[in-house]
Amino acid sequence: MQPDDRTIRTIAKNRKAYHEFEILHTFEAGIQLTGTEVKSLRAGKVSMLEAYATFPSRTVDELMLIGLHINPYDHGNRENHDPMRQRKLLLHKHELQRIRVSLEEKGLTVVPLSIYFSGPYVKVELGIARGKKLFDKRHTIKEKEQQRGMQRMKGGMAD
């Protein structure tokens, strides 16, 4: 299979992240999972509302995804996974260094934007984000409403 022949199937998107944060840069990362977690993901049983990524220590270059809830597999046994365990994200060393530098800047965080299958692999789209203030959120909502109004006007004229 060629790397560009992979089919992408979205499992879940974090819509709340786009509302709560201003996304500055995105990365694609692999994620270290167990077998029952992959089976549960195939069924779409995941929640990423409170999830974020961080480095557990200053010396180790490992990025961990915290707060990602993958439901236990329905047909699993006592070997089933812990739904809220920390999961290691798989990135290149230069990407990890770039993320670490960004996190040291005040007010930035790493949030998962979506989780998807890329061929047989599970990937996570991460975003380096800055939290929006209340007036930023209002401005975003106002712009969306204006866009909808413009679309309605165009749709009304076409009829």
Token readout for 92 is 């290149």
Q: What is the DSSP string of 53-69?
A: EE-SSSS---EEEES-E
Q: What is the pLDDT, as a whole number, of residue 150?
A: 83
Q: What is the pLDDT, as a whole number, of residue 125?
A: 92
CATH classification for the domain delimited by 3-133, as one of 2.40.280.10, 3.30.70.580, 2.30.29.30, 3.20.20.80: 2.40.280.10
What are the domain boundaries of the chain? Answer: 3-133
CA atoms within 13 A on the CB side of 155: 6
Residue 62 has pLDDT above 80, yes or no: yes
Exposed/middle/buried for residue 101 (C-beta within 10 Å: 0-12, 13-18, 19+): exposed
Q: Name the DSSP class of 105.
A: S
Residue 1 has pLDDT above 50, yes or no: no
Q: What is the pLDDT, as a whole number, of residue 157?
A: 59
Q: What is the pLDDT, as a whole number, of residue 2?
A: 55
